[in-house]
């Protein structure tokens, strides 16, 4: 209970009329009131001057079950009249009480549950014509925090106001302060405001009320609550919707900020307080935090609170702050599920050997890797951020001979929306020359951008194996020269070029002289060494575009591209001379070596590659028949 520090001035007696509308004469003052005709507004000086305010006061009197409810200005000049339902002496006492409350700067209500039991108020009874036992005065403040009066409750019976009733009285006081500050129709008439202006103001007021109702419905359906904090006293009021977020009903929460802080999750409390303090000190334009708060059932919810200081004193100290709270639990849960899904996908792609990527190419042609898994470090020796910010860094690593194919393959895929596939080489700073294989599927977006989702993997080992298999399929296992099948395929391709008008080409057949005798005398192992020795001489004497092959046994064939008969004869002569000049050394001896060679030119009239090979074979036969170690042309 709050009481004056000294005995108050005597309150004049209360007349019979003061309670005439509340209870029947002689009724027990503790019985409930039947009506409250004397709940009046004294702020305007006229009974029923403002229907909304007077209706609010009647509602307050009925809610608390008291004889009368009044809005009393805090300063005498503001009073211009009173209602006949409240005795003048009672009204003057209430006005004095409100004036003192305002001057003291108190923000807590003055509540006297029983005047007769309070020594500070005993002298009131000596002057009262009817017992005045209960008085409550809640100070009212304007938009800037200035005291403007009090909302007063009076009753002839003693009573107590519990925490819920005090909270309700505070709610009534805030609404009363707002209504008392509005210009009323009666005030307009006193000021001689034209009726049309008066009607327009009233219509505007009704429109604002309708907007308030719509806003209230919208807020109620959005899972958002409103709070209003008195920074100086530490009092915070919550809307019904705010309480509902936490599962509370209208009167189940206190209005102390300390209790509000007690509902914060322990891990979030310091962060929330720091954000609030930063806004109080003007370091942030608004207050906005996301944090967890304990509900009535003990569970925690995620909420987003936003607010702003609405008034400050002359020194910039925060006085009043208003804000909203929104339940964001479902959004946080969804965000957490999305985060977990994204983490799972990222972990999966990062663990897959190779590069999982997303490539975007705008209609103008500029392309970048908008996503790259951790495998880019192995495939291109780059970080994902490098590929995203500098698309040229990957192009620079493509082997120069494959760079055009790399770019053209994407252009072709984008033009036709066909799957992208390419085997290409890269030159990397650490790994050197490596093979890569890429596959992706394109998708066209509405803005014309083409997006590929795909995979690039290491292909060096596979390409090596393929090359070995190709070599095994196309080369002679002993000499590592082309085998007959591969050699004939090349001759066929050369013949097609000759038929198209290309340069002439020559075919030579070579046979090692006396090879059977070498095998008989030195053994087949030495014979194999002789064959390998001759193959090596051929490799040293031929140009890059020429091809040598082992046709069978000790017979070899040579394809000389872009060569006439004279040039072919010159090559045959060098081979013959080098072979004879480099006999094969064996243990304690050497193996003398010679070769017979037949030469022919390919021509467009040849039916097949076999025709040229047959002519050169005839020339070889003549060389061997003529004494061996000879060169013959056909």
Contact predicate 175/52, CB 8 Å: no
Between CA 547 and CA 507 the distance in angstroms is 10
Distance of CA 204 to the CA centre of its chain: 45
**Residue in the block written with tokens 């080369």:** 475
Contact predicate 398/409, CB 8 Å: no
Q: Is 554 a catalytic residue?
A: yes
User: Exposed, middle or buried, 83 (CB in 10 Å: 0-12/13-18/19+)?
Assistant: buried
Closest C-alpha among 445, 438, 441 to residue 459: 438
**CA–CA–CA angle 383, 386, 390 (5° rounding):** 155
Query: Phi and psi dihedrals of 399, rounded to 5?
Result: -55, 135
Beta strands in 8-117 (DSSP E): 40-41, 68-73, 110-112
Q: Nearest 10 degrees: CA dihedral of 99, 102, 104, 105? A: 180
Closest C-alpha among 419, 420, 423 to residue 399: 423
Between CA 277 and CA 280 the distance in angstroms is 5
Kindly state the tokens that stand for 529.
């060494």
Coil, strand or helix at 15: coil
Residues 6 or more apart whose Cβ sits within 8 Å of residue 611? none
The catalytically annotated residue of 198, 458, 554, 632 is: 554
Beta strands in 156-233 (DSSP E): 224-230
Closest C-alpha among 136, 138, 134 to residue 118: 134
Query: Phi and psi dihedrals of 552, rounded to 5?
Result: 165, 145
Contact predicate 318/289, CB 8 Å: no
Kindly state the tokens that stand for 366.
């500029």
Computed from CA positions of residues 277, 283, 286, 287, in that sequence, does the dihedral angle turn out positive or negative?
Answer: negative
Closest C-alpha among 561, 575, 557 to residue 630: 575
Helix (H) or strand (E) segment spanning residue 455: strand 450-458
> How many residues can be counted in the chain?
634
Between CA 141 and CA 156 the distance in angstroms is 28
Give helix then strand counts, H and E, for the chain.
20, 22
**Residue in the block written with tokens 């700067």:** 105
Contact predicate 561/475, CB 8 Å: no
Residues 6 or more apart whose Cβ sits within 8 Å of residue 69? 36, 39, 57, 58, 60, 61, 151, 152, 153
Contact predicate 293/303, CB 8 Å: yes
Catalytic site positions: 554
């Amino acid at each position: 209970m709050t009481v004056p520090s000294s005995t108050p001035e005597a309150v004049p007696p209360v007349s019979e009329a003061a309670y005439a509308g509340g209870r029947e004469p002689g009724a027990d003052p503790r019985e409930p009131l039947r009506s409250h005709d004397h709940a009046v507004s004294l702020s305007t000086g006229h009974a029923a001057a403002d229907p909304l305010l007077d209706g609010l006061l009647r509602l307050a009197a009925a809610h608390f079950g008291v004889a009368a409810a009044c809005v009393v200005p805090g300063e005498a000049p503001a009073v211009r009249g009173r209602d006949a339902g409240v005795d003048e002496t009672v009204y003057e006492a209430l006005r004095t009480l409100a004036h003192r409350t305002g001057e003291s700067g108190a923000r807590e209500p003055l509540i006297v549950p029983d005047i007769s039991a309070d020594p500070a108020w005993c002298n009131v009874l000596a002057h009262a014509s009817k017992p005045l036992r209960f008085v409550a005065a809640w100070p009212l403040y304007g938009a800037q925090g200035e005291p403007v009066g009090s909302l007063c409750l009076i009753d002839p019976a003693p009573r107590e106001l519990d925490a819920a009733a005090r909270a309700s009285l505070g709610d009534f006081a805030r609404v009363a302060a707002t209504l008392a500050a509005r210009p009323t129709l009666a005030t307009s008439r006193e000021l001689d405001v034209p009726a049309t202006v008066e009607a327009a103001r009233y219509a505007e007021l009704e429109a604002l009320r309708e907007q308030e109702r719509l806003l209230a419905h919208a807020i109620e359906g959005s899972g958002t609550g409103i709070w209003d904090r008195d920074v100086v006293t530490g009092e915070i009021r919550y809307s019904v919707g705010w309480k509902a977020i936490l599962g509370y009903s209208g009167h189940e929460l206190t209005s102390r900020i300390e209790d509000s802080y007690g509902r914060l999750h322990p891990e979030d409390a310091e962060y929330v307080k720091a954000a609030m303090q930063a806004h109080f000190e003007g370091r942030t334009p608004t207050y906005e935090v996301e944090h967890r708060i304990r509900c009535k059932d003990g569970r925690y919810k995620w909420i987003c609170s936003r607010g702003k200081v609405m008034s400050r004193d002359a020194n910039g100290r925060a006085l009043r702050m208003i804000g909203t709270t929104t339940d964001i639990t479902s959004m946080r849960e969804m965000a957490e599920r999305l985060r977990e899904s994204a983490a799972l996908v990222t972990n999966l792609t990062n663990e897959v050997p190779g590069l999982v990527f997303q490539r975007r190419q705008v209609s103008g042609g500029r392309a970048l890797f908008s996503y790259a898994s951790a495998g880019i470090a192995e495939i291109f020796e780059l970080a994902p951020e490098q590929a995203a910010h500098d698309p040229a860094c990957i192009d620079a690593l493509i082997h120069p001979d494959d760079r055009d194919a790399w770019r053209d393959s994407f252009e072709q895929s984008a033009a036709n929306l066909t799957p992208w596939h390419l085997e290409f080489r890269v030159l990397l700073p650490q790994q050197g020359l490596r093979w890569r294989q890429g596959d992706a599927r394109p998708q066209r977006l509405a803005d014309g951008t083409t997006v590929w989702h795909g995979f690039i993997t290491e292909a060096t080992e596979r390409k090596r194996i393929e090359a070995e298999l190709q070599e095994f399929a196309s080369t002679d296992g002993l000499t590592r020269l082309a085998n007959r099948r591969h050699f004939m395929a090349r001759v066929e391709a050369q013949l097609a070029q000759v038929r198209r008008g290309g340069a002439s080409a020559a075919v030579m057949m070579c046979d090692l002289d006396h090879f059977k005798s070498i095998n008989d005398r030195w053994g087949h192992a030495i014979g194999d060494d002789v064959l390998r020795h001759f193959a090596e001489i051929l490799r040293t004497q031929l140009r890059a575009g020429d091809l040598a092959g082992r046709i069978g046994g000790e017979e070899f064939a040579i394809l000389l591209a872009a060569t006439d008969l004279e040039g072919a004869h010159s090559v045959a002569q060098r081979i013959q001379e080098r072979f004879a000049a480099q006999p094969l050394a064996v243990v304690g001896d050497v193996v003398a070596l010679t070769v017979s060679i037949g030469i022919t030119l390919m021509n467009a009239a040849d039916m097949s590659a076999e025709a040229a090979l047959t002519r050169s074979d005839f020339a070889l036969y003549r060389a061997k028949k003529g004494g061996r170690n000879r060169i013959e042309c056909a």
